[in-house]
Amino acid sequence: MVIITCEHAIVNLLIAGFYDDLPECIILKGDIYMKKKAMLIIMACVLAFLCLPVEAAAAAIQPVTNMRIGLRFGSEAVSSANLQNFSGFGNGFQFGYFNSSRNFVPIGAWTSENSISLLMDRNMVWHSSDSTGSFGEYREGTSGNVVVGAFHIQLAEQFDSFDAARAEADRHEGGFVKYDSGNFFVSVGNFTTRDAASGALTSRGFSGIAEVNSGTSNTITVTRTGTNRILFEFDYGTSRQLGVMPIPSDRENPETWFRGFRYHGGFQFERRDGALLTVVNFVGMEDYAKGVVPYEMSNTWHIEALKVQAVCARTYALRSLNTHRANGFDLCTEVHCQVYNGRNNANESTDQAVIETAGIYVMHGDTLAQTFYASSNGGASESSENVWMEARPYLRGVIDPFEADVAGRIPNYNWTATPTPRQIADRMRSRGHNVSGNISAMRISEFTPTGNVLSVTVTDSAGRDFTISREALRSVLSARSQRFTFGNAAWGSGGLYVNSPARQIDAGTQTFVINGRGEVTAMPGSGMQAITGSGAVLPVTGEPVITGNSEIRPANGVFTITGTGWGHNVGMSQWGALSMAQHHGKNYIEILTFYYTGVTIGPLP
């Protein structure tokens, strides 16, 4: 699946929240994200990104051993999680926990099984998702062919090491090791009721040396995937969470399958509030960047463009540590942060882009820059204060001539939005504006220096004016960027007139010339034309600069808005970066310094 995101950071939250007919995707190529999933992401994340974080928050650079990436959390937490060694890239798993420095601390527990499942210590039933029974998940219940019971017989003896406990566990049918608050114990069997476990305790001769144990709301059970064979259990209360690391085989950097994606690094499993499993990938910065680049850009793109994406991804990640602190990790895998899906789409080019820029960041002075980026800017990027109301010295709008070279390849580069008067009014009311009835007219009231729209004034049914500005323009007007104008709508009372109501012209399809006597003459051909001083008629090329604020009213029940680009227009244009690299021979440093004003590109100070 080749993915090029059309948005970045908070942008999709704003668009997805208000599009009545949200495009099938928040992705421009390949597979798609449905609207329902986008809304779930928004519900979980919107509070964290309603506005830009203050600049002071990034003043202290904190290099980290591992990034913590939330793979499943909140409404997408899971009842079970399957891990499988990627062939040739792993040889079983070891267990432990991640300390406060984000380093994995092994406890000596391990398994040579290549496919394991982590699940709640409850009565769980395996549900196969294919004919072989190799793929699926465990769900809570007691009815099924493969049931993992929540009640166990736990021996009283305490062991100093995993190996000693495992030697004892191997003496008993269904025996396994449990790590409980720093100590090793042996448990035997799994039963769906306490009575069944008590009966087995007596019948198997464990009376007096064991008791029935059902774990706690923090216990996590490890099984051989697709079976009821328990391999290990972990419970350290809420102070430590189960960490799992693949054991290397003939490769130095193992890869692990999880939910259809391959990941480097290790995994943490936590039953937050005793509920479903939150799954976090602990992964080194460079491996993290390798899992972002092929999902934020096509892996077939020019190497210099891929390097730009690698540096932006790395900088954005370090700058955004603990964005999801409330969920126990740094960043998610979605466009709310930046798309990260591990190794599936990685190839030699995307890996090379990361390797050749290893340790390189975008800096403004001694501060990490906030490297926002979007799919395309439509011809000009924008200063941050004209979008999010906070000025950043390195996020300055620039005229971007480079996208024009690849505009024909950019999906949805030219777009048209047709919001109804009622939709706009309802969206205004949801933002606290006391709009009466519907919107009857609107006009562009201010442009930015780069030609993007800064504000639009709308008029309600009572004749009162309201102003929409900055990022709200896109969500209220269904605009894909702030680079738009009004088109194909009725002007005034239904036409454009010269000198008198009897002299109406169609300004939407042809260019007209008016002489000194007021005579209107249609120019030959189509498109905008001009008359030179010598009287020659020449076509006007390039993008016109719009300076008027003519009022438009709805036509056929809608306002028609036309524009270019898709995104917040702040920072780097991904398609612009491709054009600069592929058609203009620019290297990644030249591209970055074009889109981010006054920055330096290099290692951390």
Binned average pLDDT, 10 residues per bin, the chain of 605 residues: 39 34 33 38 38 45 87 94 87 96 96 96 91 79 95 95 96 96 96 96 92 94 96 96 92 89 96 92 97 96 98 95 92 91 96 97 95 93 92 94 92 92 93 91 92 93 92 92 73 39 46 60 59 58 46 88 92 96 97 97 93
DSSP codes joined into one string, 306-369? HHHHHHHHHHHHHHTTTTTGGGTSSEESSTTT----TTTT--HHHHHHHHHTTT-EEEETTEE-
43 φ, ψ (degrees, to nearest 5): -60, -35
Q: Which two tokens stand for residue 592?
A: 């970055």
Contacts of 599 (CB under 8 A, 6+ apart): 362, 363, 364, 369, 394, 592, 593
Q: Are 507 and 527 in contact (CB under 8 A)?
A: no
State the Cα angle at 455 between 453 and 456, rounded to 5°: 105
- Answer left, alpha or beta for residue 556, where phi above 0 means left and psi between -120 and 50 means alpha: left
State the Cα angle at 418 between 415 and 423, rounded to 5°: 135
The pLDDT value recorded for residue 274 is 83
The pLDDT value recorded for residue 512 is 60
Distance CA 565, CA 382 (A): 12
The pLDDT value recorded for residue 6 is 38
Write down the pTM of the prediction.
Answer: 0.79
Nearest to 123 by CA among 41, 252, 214, 1: 214
The pLDDT value recorded for residue 540 is 54
Give 458: exposed, middle or buried? Use CB within 10 Å, 0-12, 13-18, 19+: buried
The pLDDT value recorded for residue 238 is 92
Residue type, 35: K
Helix pair angle (285-296, 348-356), 10° resolution: 130
The pLDDT value recorded for residue 252 is 76
